[in-house]
Structure 1
Amino acid sequence: MTESLDAVERTALLTAALRAAESRRPDRLYHDPFAEALAGGIGPELLAEVRAATFPKDAERTLPSTPDYNAIRTRFFDDYLQEAARDPETTQIVLAPAGMDSRAYRLGWPDRIRYFEVDRPAVVDFKKSRLGDARPRVDHRTVAVDLTSPDWESDLEAAGYDPARPSTWLLEGLLYYIAEEDTHRILERVGAITAPGSRIAADIVNSAALTLPHMRGLLDVFEGWGCPWLFGTEEPEALFDTYGFTAEAVQPGEPGADYGRWPDPVPPRTERDVRRVFFVHGRRR
């Protein structure tokens, strides 16, 4: 079924392969028992390409460590969603896109939670085929729709989402694959269907990460797959503020986003022309 997935959709298999590899580590930051199946046969091949570019045999590493980054990102958003779920006011969680994520299956959730996974039909179908008889541990609603479609909000509401109630959204592994205008449009649309007090979280790179010469090794891998990185920002807080979210951004390696795993120095925000990735999280005003 992987033939039905396009280049961007296949990056979900890379994420699953990274999570499977992390789950085999004795010092793992989480355990994802579904990741190996969700990665399929292609996920490990994609991971091998990323590893070869990131950790060259005869040269010093200049690229960010994708395995460590992904481990920290997954754990950071695990903790973020679980913290949101402990809030009695939280009744709706939306993963958009959901990709090969298995949090609905591997983490515990309060009975009051409706857990929505939004992604393209091909991704939803592939995921179902890999999960087999696995059952989610939450009231799980799948919404098979493209986030660039003109009416995905109506599909989400038809699945039981209530825009008048506070919700928690996670946009993981999305914003750097879409053009700047599409990023703005998605944030605008999410802002329009979230009630005050709703939470949002996302990961995003800075604009320098798209152009710095020493990033070319990793950028070339994704471009070669047909899914180049298209958007980044030096001011993620301002980006989210535009659409009604008061947000803060933390970099891997900073307090609360390290877990003892980030291998590189963390440059201060005042330093220019350095690669960065941000975990953004905030609230709807």
Structure 2
Amino acid sequence: MIEKEPSRTAWMAATHRAAHQVLESGRIFADPLALPILGLDAETVARDALAHPARRAMRAFVAARSAFAETALARAVEGRGLDQLVVLGAGLDTFAYRNPFADRLRVFEVDHPATQAWKRRRLGEAGVAAPGDLVYAAVDFERDTLLDGLRNAGFDDRRPAFFVWLGVAPYLTPQAVRATLAVIGGLPGSAVVFDYADPPSALSDEARAAHVLRAERVAALGEPWLSYFEPAVLHALLRNLGFVAIEDLGPPDLARRYWPVVARQAPERGGHVLLAAT
């Protein structure tokens, strides 16, 4: 990670969210803060996105995973009264600043202290105030455990929580992914939404070629993909860690739900978004 700036992959994800607002009018995921947090205008974002048409699939995936996560969160808040949200590896995520449950949902943003400092400066420059229900849980994972960092920030591990963990797991080792899921799996009544990818060997030739290009691009930024999972193996791991309900959407499922016009073109394997509850 570049010191005092967000990771390059966090920045790329934020530009995909912003481009979705501009090019698709936020059709499946509306985020009015997607542009302000970047400090870019709509024309600049659109021009860059249109200059790289191969990134359209990733933009669709990023928008879909955000829509899926926030819909699942809304069900948990409205249906079960859940009142704690943890955004792991928050990066440039904007949910806390447009929280529709501000009077009943406390948000903990977990990230590296340097990334959080950069984000807070950028929000200040954009005139976006930090809400009173937001807690910045600065966790340096080289020195702190996730649960200790959350507890120090006021998180109550005796009550259920919802975890949003998007765009992070693929860049961690399988051991680190398992460790984080084990923490969440030990919190009764809690849930997590995260994304992961099928192994490259499971992809079609065309999808594998596209994956290789993306993998090379993020590796060149110093943030290589380190984890892939076969769905059945991952589901078994989740059950062993205490999760009892799993909803896993692969490419065809995501396309049918969010992009039905192009559903027939969706590959069978690729990126997944998964909801698991204890």
Change (3 A) 1:177 1:51: farther
Query: AA paired with 1:37?
Result: P
Query: AA paired with 1:234?
Result: E
Secondary structure class of the residue paired with 1:240: helix
2:215 is equivalent to residue 223 of structure 1: no
Query: AA paired with 1:155?
Result: G
Q: Which of residues 196, 201, 209 in structure 2 aligns to 1:204?
A: 196
Q: Is the 8 A contact 2:170 2:228 kept in 1?
A: yes
Q: Which of residues 103, 118, 127 in structure 2 aligns to 1:111?
A: 103
- 1:85-134 Cα deviation digits (max 9, x unpaired): 21343011111111101111123115222111100111101110111142
Task: Identify the residue that residue 33 of structure 1 maps to in structure 2.
Answer: 32
Change (3 A) 1:50 1:157: farther
Task: Identify the residue that residue 235 of structure 2 maps to in structure 1.
Answer: 237
Task: Identify the residue that residue 5 of structure 1 maps to in structure 2.
Answer: 5
**Higher relative helix content:** 2
Aligned-pair identity (%): 27
The alpha-carbon deviation at position 148 of structure 1 amounts to 5.3
Secondary structure class of the residue paired with 1:85: helix
Q: Is the 8 A contact 1:199 1:282 kept in 2?
A: yes
Secondary structure class of the residue paired with 1:76: helix
Q: Distance in 1 between matches of 2:135 and 2:162?
A: 15
> What stretches of structure 2 of length at least 5 have no aligned partner?
none
Query: AA paired with 1:258?
Result: R
Change (3 A) 1:141 1:210: farther
Q: Is the 8 A contact 1:20 1:35 kept in 2?
A: yes
The alpha-carbon deviation at position 79 of structure 1 amounts to 1.2
Change (3 A) 1:138 1:74: farther
Q: Is the 8 A contact 1:98 1:118 kept in 2?
A: yes
Length, aligned pairs only: 262
Secondary structure class of the residue paired with 2:276: strand
Residues 18-97 of structure 1 aligned to structure 2 (within 5 Å): 18-28=16-26, 29-40=28-39, 48=48, 52=52, 54=54, 65-97=57-89
The alpha-carbon deviation at position 229 of structure 1 amounts to 0.9
Query: AA paired with 2:123?
Result: L
Q: Distance in 1 between matches of 2:134 and 2:92?
A: 14
Q: Distance in 2 between matches of 1:255 and 1:163?
A: 32
The alpha-carbon deviation at position 39 of structure 1 amounts to 2.7
Once structures 1 and 2 are overlaid, which stretch shifts more, 215-224 or 128-137?
Answer: 128-137
The alpha-carbon deviation at position 262 of structure 1 amounts to 7.2
2:276 is equivalent to residue 277 of structure 1: no
Residues 110-259 of structure 1 aligned to structure 2 (within 5 Å): 111-132=103-124, 133-136=127-130, 139-147=133-141, 149-192=143-186, 194=187, 196-208=188-200, 212-235=208-231, 236-246=234-244, 247-254=246-253, 258-259=257-258
Change (3 A) 1:148 1:87: farther
Q: Is the 8 A contact 1:252 1:258 kept in 2?
A: no
Secondary structure class of the residue paired with 1:201: strand
TM-score under structure 2 length normalisation: 0.82
Query: AA paired with 1:201?
Result: V
Q: Is the 8 A contact 2:163 2:193 kept in 1?
A: yes
Q: Which of residues 10, 17, 28 in structure 1 aligns to 2:15?
A: 17
